[in-house]
Structure 1
């Protein structure tokens, strides 16, 4: 079977199966909650403490629609919102007792309707149906678990503008940082372009797309600063940050820097975890009210490179 025939058969199956699922969903979700709302309820249950943003991204829901769903579920006491202790703007979502009862009812309705759909199948055909579904799932899971090739390279003309764009988009969408923060990033990158002596900037690339960055700038003869460390939110959790961090630290060792420092903010929990892993130590804190409507805490982290050299030996 050639590629075109394969694609056509997959599309034909998708049309057929979408029709089957549509009829099942119509029977189940024609009462209190839509299919999307039911999926949100299930995802909150499975995650047991997740943000609306995490649910929205996982299920591919529009930001505005997700906001309306959360508002409805909260007003009807289906979910409970709890403020994150280290970030007053973030809330974790949990099912209430009423929400758990609603979820159990939705599950019972779904099981009953699917059971009705397969009751005319023989035991042999039902077994073949399940085996076929498991085969499809296994093939796609294997494909999803195969990590893409990540290229770490030094920057070329055109990269820096895109890095500024990634910073502006990520920090606005996720943390509601404003225009002043984007100006701060662009100003620093422009200065780096004008004079990058003693420093370097790397980008992470997947299939030709820039998905992350990190840079080292010279502070003085023995001290370097780590800057513009970022991973596109779509590619976080893939080990890209580790590769970028190792490139930056290795460069500092080769340049004979004795010390590296960086500034970050306390709400970047994943980045802070990585800094700790590479033996950076929190040394200073200060408040900042310029970038967001609420106060945030900036942190300075320091690394004595003699610990890196001693670890290597």
Structure 2
């Protein structure tokens, strides 16, 4: 997916500002006597416990000779210590010394102060958006550097590592879920105000029925921000059928397995409640979602042109029978 030139320029400008404001233009970083690469080396060793110089080069994206010189300086300054690897006597494991641990604690304190001071200038919603956006962007840059499908998969998995699934109503859910639907379907399918208002009004009506044991909603939450949802409405179809509704993921969370987690919990709820079938309505062209539905037991049972979303599309109904039925 390509980005518009103005968006690219805005991100580049913001990146330059961040580099300057975080102190990366100076010879030393984070109130230490060390360069940015040395500071990052200490942080990576702290995060992993022990690493080899070759592993450190991979983590930092630097050539091995540069890392060797940097490591030698950190050892000479008492920040690191090395010991033979248990499975290869020729290789050395690097770990922080007691002095290195104190240095890293100071680096963390300095970095936390910088972040807290900056976040204090933003409202809570913007704080959450910054955390999600920066995480996704940083991991996209890493995937580009690695230049492989494996790198992209690793990036997507890391991006969704901090996401938790919650059941039940959550403050702001109606507006946030409607927003995710409106933004995604406007961008990719040209849906407008009719669609957004239909989603919002439907969610508002359904939320008033969440006290019924046959109804439930699940949200995926990252840094206190809703980034995905799905709901089971056990009342509106009748005939002991469950209606799967409002399945959506924020763009930054796609491809990491969050959608499967949401659907798995929703379908487990349907089976526990003993619904004869679970039905969902979508439309032709949402191929990734269709593959996910079919992998979880849904089959296409009907399709025809329709306008229930405000635009003419080929509407599709998928059905999943109760296991064992």
- SS across alignment from 1:306: coil
With over 3 angstroms needed to count, the CA separation of the structure-2 counterparts of 1:64 and 1:289, relative to structure 1, is farther
Residue 299 (structure 1) aligned with residue 316 (structure 2): yes
The number of residues matched between the two structures is: 188
Cα deviation for residue 174 of structure 1 reads: 2.1
With over 3 angstroms needed to count, the CA separation of the structure-2 counterparts of 1:137 and 1:172, relative to structure 1, is closer
Task: Report if the CA contact (8 A) 2:164-2:222 is conserved.
Answer: yes
Cα deviation for residue 194 of structure 1 reads: 2.2
Corresponding residue number in structure 2 for 1:215: 231
With over 3 angstroms needed to count, the CA separation of the structure-2 counterparts of 1:296 and 1:306, relative to structure 1, is same
Residue 172 (structure 1) aligned with residue 186 (structure 2): yes
With over 3 angstroms needed to count, the CA separation of the structure-2 counterparts of 1:285 and 1:137, relative to structure 1, is closer
- SS across alignment from 1:146: helix
Residue 188 (structure 1) aligned with residue 213 (structure 2): no
Task: Map 1:70-85; keep pairs closer than 5 Å.
Answer: none
- SS across alignment from 2:275: coil
With over 3 angstroms needed to count, the CA separation of the structure-2 counterparts of 1:137 and 1:240, relative to structure 1, is closer
Cα deviation for residue 179 of structure 1 reads: 1.2
Residues in 2 aligned to 1:133 and 1:165: alpha-carbon distance in whole angstroms: 47
Residue 264 (structure 1) aligned with residue 285 (structure 2): no
Corresponding residue number in structure 2 for 1:68: none
TM-score (norm 2): 0.51
Residues in 1 aligned to 2:209 and 2:224: alpha-carbon distance in whole angstroms: 27
Cα deviation for residue 64 of structure 1 reads: 10
With over 3 angstroms needed to count, the CA separation of the structure-2 counterparts of 1:220 and 1:291, relative to structure 1, is closer
Corresponding residue number in structure 2 for 1:73: none
Residues in 1 aligned to 2:5 and 2:288: alpha-carbon distance in whole angstroms: 24
Task: Report if the CA contact (8 A) 2:220-2:258 is conserved.
Answer: yes
With over 3 angstroms needed to count, the CA separation of the structure-2 counterparts of 1:277 and 1:132, relative to structure 1, is farther
Residues in 2 aligned to 1:212 and 1:133: alpha-carbon distance in whole angstroms: 43
Task: Map 1:1-313; keep pairs closer than 5 Å.
Answer: 54-56=1-3, 61-62=5-6, 130-131=63-64, 144=155, 146-147=158-159, 148-154=161-167, 155-196=169-210, 197=212, 198-218=214-234, 219-220=237-238, 222-289=240-307, 291=309, 295-307=312-324
- SS across alignment from 1:241: helix
TM-score (norm 1): 0.53
With over 3 angstroms needed to count, the CA separation of the structure-2 counterparts of 1:199 and 1:64, relative to structure 1, is same
Q: Which runs of 5+ in 1 are unaligned?
A: 1-53, 66-128
Residues in 1 aligned to 2:300 and 2:290: alpha-carbon distance in whole angstroms: 9
With over 3 angstroms needed to count, the CA separation of the structure-2 counterparts of 1:134 and 1:161, relative to structure 1, is farther
